[in-house]
Amino acid sequence: MSKDTKKIVWHKALEKDEFPEGRVKSITLGHVTVALTHFEGKYGALNNKCPHQGGPLGEGSIENGLLRCPWHGWDFCPHSGNTPGYDDGVDAYAVEVRDDGIYVGLEEEAPHVTTVSDVMTETMTNWGVKHVFGIVGHSNLGLADGLRMQAEKGNLKFYGVRHELAAAFAVSAYGKLTGRPAACLSIAGPGATNLLTGLWDANVDRSPAIALTGQVDTQVVGAGAFQEVDLQGAFGTVAQWAQPVLHSSKHAELMNLACKSSILNRGVSHLIFPDNVQHMPAPEGETAGGPEGRITSVAIRPPKESVDKAVALLSKSERPTIIVGHGARFNMPAIIQLAESLNCPVLTTFKGKGLIPDSHPLGCGVLGRSGTPIASYFMNESDCLLVFGSSFSNHTGITDHKPTIQVDFDAMTLGKFHKIDVPVWGEIGETVEVLQNELKGKTKTKDRREEISARWTIWRKEKKSREDDDSGKGINSASIFSALSRHVSKEAIMAVDVGNNTYSFGRYFECENQAVLMSGYLGSIGFSLPAAMGAWAATQEEDARFKGRPVVSISGDGGFGQCMADVSTAVKYKMNITHILLNNHELGKISKEQRAAKWDVWQTSLVNPNFSEYVTSYGALGIRVEKKEDLDDAITKALNHEGFSLVEIMSDALLM
């Protein structure tokens, strides 16, 4: 055999008697799909791909002795692949009928050639991207194959979702929790546009994320090809960095920049992969990239002038109050230490709920519309506010009538909505350390611990009294979140949705060491279930901050309905998530807003299935609770279940 002759490998295609006369069928043998034919007592095996439009010949039919392409009617000899009167036939493969079946002889597959997608996906994993959520489809198959190879090497986990919105929400939540990017994958056109809501959530909450979208072939971009969308135009400013991947690109470098931009800018990076570029051989000599020498520490200390002004203001304060937002989540031990040295209350924004335990002697809960009267009291009684990592959202309602020091890593956030007495630009952890050192021996603050304890006593008595409310239309929120406070692990990661259920969570649930995830600035309904999936992915890593922690998600019936198909994703990948669903058959928050604005309540009612039976149909655990006295047992059972579980609580839309 000459060195140019390739070895023939025989593959068993079918049993001997299972393929009737006059039929054609697509059979995949290794990585080759053939059109197997049986005509006039003889078997044939042809290249399955029509040379014109790529139609699958195995889905055609034999008419008048010829195999007809199902897409546009071109005819081929079912044995030889020739086209009568033309020279554009298809290859035919050797066929043998043996005693144990029908065999097709195919050339031995050539070794895999490293592709553009291989280089880029390896680069991505080198940057520490460990998880990809998405849907594999016709315009991202080359890219998906690169991801498959990284998954088989153990470098990443892929989660196939039922809707791209869920993929983007999961990635956004993962970034909020860990400070590291995960990736979401879609096809061109509608798959890519389905990512937008979840990516906007990442964008406005400064969560690192990477979007990988397919695109039509480069040669037909702009010609109105099937599923072509101007993706850079469609994504707009949702992506702080975006580039198409072209045949002439420096492919590893593009992925280097995508990952670097996502991490340092704390936002969305978007790479657009034309279909034909994905499976191109990588340029000779091109190898995967990585973070070595490409990224710096962001532990930047604040300017001395700003520190001096902050110290001067705090030195004369008797009743300072610290407010922490989501941006301070990785620096809380140092902030709490500073608060203890100042003897001052610590309030959180809603996005910052749980950053200090409610049981801490200085913890005062959440400030604002979803908050506690404790927090608002101590803000109003303060003589100086020290604010870390907060955006000053109108939802939070930080007053502009108090002397204020604002600390943030983003200079543009400082004084964004109104004048700040002392804006301080610096990494929060570094700034806290500097303030702690500079304030030694210079403060005269009053110890507020007894006053904080007294305020908690008043509020807990009020909450307890609300548990007795009963209009006969469902279980009240005070009872629901009291039960959750008793039973949810102190170490749980909790993803919450949007709506009355979320307001009640902020008001009634008492946090210990739970990490709370929410759609903050965007406030998008449907966030909690896919966010819990993203959080669960983080618990499977070796990172001690998250490994093995329980995951709980909370939503109303409106929010759950947005992404409920992805219960199947949680079940498929054996995600241990407990979902608490408050079902009141209504978009209760919208009804409340209609009443408050003196509108008629209109089109806010919902027709729901039995959600507990719905999740049970997937093989998960579903429990429905209609009586307050059954809450504890149901919640405990769900939390102890291995796998996905749901507690559907029939709740009162007005008793929140």
Distance CA 497, CA 500 (A): 9
Q: What is the pLDDT of residues 503-540, one digit of tens each?
A: 999 999 999 999 999 998 898 999 999 999 999 999 99
Say how far apart CA 135 and CA 160 lie, in whole Å.
5
> In this predicted model, what pLDDT tens digit does every residue of 429-449 receive, in sequence order?
999 999 999 999 999 999 999
Per-residue confidence at 216, pLDDT binned at 50, 70, 90? confident
CATH 3.40.50.1220 range(s) for the chain read: 323-450
Q: What is the CA radius of gyration of the chain?
A: 30
Question: In this model, does residue 224 exceed pLDDT 90?
Answer: no
In this prediction, residue 149 carries a pLDDT of 97
Nearest alpha-carbon partner for 145 in 110, 173, 171, 112: 112
Percent of the chain whose predicted confidence (pLDDT) is above 90: 87
CATH 3.40.50.970 in the chain is located at: 116-278, 467-650
| Per-range mean pLDDT, top range of 205-209, 296-300, 414-418 | 205-209
Query: How confident is the model over 316-326, as pLDDT tens digits?
Result: 999 999 999 99
Only one residue has tokens 């978007």, namely 270
d(CA 530, CA 518): 11
- The Cα–Cα gap between 50 and 268 comes to 40
Is the pLDDT reported for residue 2 higher than 50?
no
- Give residue 225's pLDDT: 77
- Tell me what the mean pLDDT of segment 232-261 comes to: 95
Q: Is the pLDDT of residue 3 over 60?
A: no
Angle at 444 between CA 441 and CA 447, to 5 degrees: 115
Looking up tokens 């507690």, which residue turns up?
647
The residue behind tokens 């090809």 is: 225
Q: What is the pLDDT of residues 55-106, one digit of tens each?
A: 999 999 999 999 999 998 999 999 999 998 888 899 999 999 999 999 999 9
Q: Regarding beta strands 75-76 and 66-68, do their DSSP bridges make them parallel or antiparallel, or are they unpaired?
A: antiparallel
- Quick check: 53 pLDDT over 90? no
The highest-level CATH class for domain 116-278 is: alpha beta
Phi-psi bin for 565: left (phi > 0), alpha (psi -120 to 50), beta? alpha
Q: What is the pLDDT of residue 222?
A: 74
- Provide the pLDDT confidence category of residue 4 given band limits of 50, 70 and 90: low
First to last CA, the chain: 81
Q: How many CA atoms lie within 13 A of 543 on its CB side?
A: 17
Q: How is residue 326 written in tokens?
A: 């989501």
* Average pLDDT value for the chain: 94
Which residues make Cβ contacts (< 8 Å) with residue 70, sequence separation at least 6?
Answer: 55, 56, 57, 59, 60, 61
- Written out in words, the top-level CATH class of the domain with range 323-450 is alpha beta
Query: From the CB of residue 76, how many other CB atoms can be counted at a distance below 10 Å?
Result: 29
Give the fold, CATH level 3, of 8-107. Rieske Iron-sulfur Protein (2.102.10)
Question: Is the backbone of residue 623 left (phi > 0), alpha (psi -120 to 50) or beta?
Answer: beta
**Which pLDDT belongs to residue 521?**
87
> CB under 8 Å to 260, separation ≥6 — which residues?
127, 291, 294, 295
pLDDT digits (tens, 9 = 90+) for 259-298: 999 999 999 999 999 999 999 999 999 999 999 999 998 8
Structure tokens at 115: 């592709």
- Judged against a pLDDT cut of 70, whether residue 1 lies above it is answered with no
Mean pLDDT along residues 419-424: 96
Question: How many angstroms separate the CA atoms of 113 and 617, rounded?
Answer: 44
467-650 folds as Rossmann fold (3.40.50)
How many whole angstroms from its chain centre is CA 109? 38
* Distance of alpha carbon 419 from alpha carbon 585, whole angstroms: 44
How many Cβ atoms are within 10 Å of 655's Cβ, its own excluded? 21
- Contacts of residue 7, Cβ cutoff 8 Å, sequence gap at least 6: 1, 107, 108
Q: What is the mean pLDDT of residues 128-137?
A: 98
Number of other CB atoms surrounding residue 82 within 10 Å: 17
The answer to whether 131 and 156 have CB atoms below 8 angstroms apart is: yes
What is the mean pLDDT of the segment spanning 220-240? Answer: 84
Residue 403 pLDDT grade (very low, low, confident, very high; cuts 50, 70, 90): very high
Residues of the chain with CATH 2.102.10.10: 8-107
- Token pair in block for residue 611: 């959600």
Q: How would residue 655 be classed by pLDDT, with cut points 50, 70 and 90?
A: low
Give percent above pLDDT 70 in the chain.
99
Q: How confident is the model at residue 242 (pLDDT cuts 50, 70, 90)?
A: very high
Secondary structure of residue 23 in the 3-state scheme: strand
pLDDT in tens, 150-199: 999 999 999 999 999 999 999 999 999 999 999 999 999 999 999 999 99
Mean pLDDT for the stretch of residues 583-605: 92
